[in-house]
Amino acid sequence: MAGMREQIARSAKMLDKKMPGWAKKVKLKDFELASDTNCVLGQLSDGKPFVLADELGMTSDEILAKKGFLNDKCIPSLDEYWKNEIRSRRSAKK
């Protein structure tokens, strides 16, 4: 899973560039990567993660999974990796 941790870090950096302040908009208490409405992209797009993914140039489920935006296997550590990225951005801004 170390490879996925690094990929999620890269994906978070991509969001930093394309959507500054994104981490402040994600509600950690509701966060669930396996949910269309409560995943990273779902929360940033009012429940339309695939529309936002397309706008960001990620046009297939395969790309989304490789970048750590999909958790179709429901692996709990992926949620924690994202939460850690979000928390680190929030604490860095203080």
- 3-7, 8-12, 38-42, 83-87: segment of lowest average pLDDT: 3-7
Query: pTM for this structure?
Result: 0.89
Task: Write down the pLDDT at residue 17.
Answer: 96
Tokens linked to 68? 């750590």
Predicted confidence at residue 2, as pLDDT, reads 64
Q: Where are the domains of the chain?
A: 2-92
For 32-91, write each residue's pLDDT tens digit: 998 889 999 999 999 999 899 999 988 888 788 889 888 777 778 899 999 999 999 999
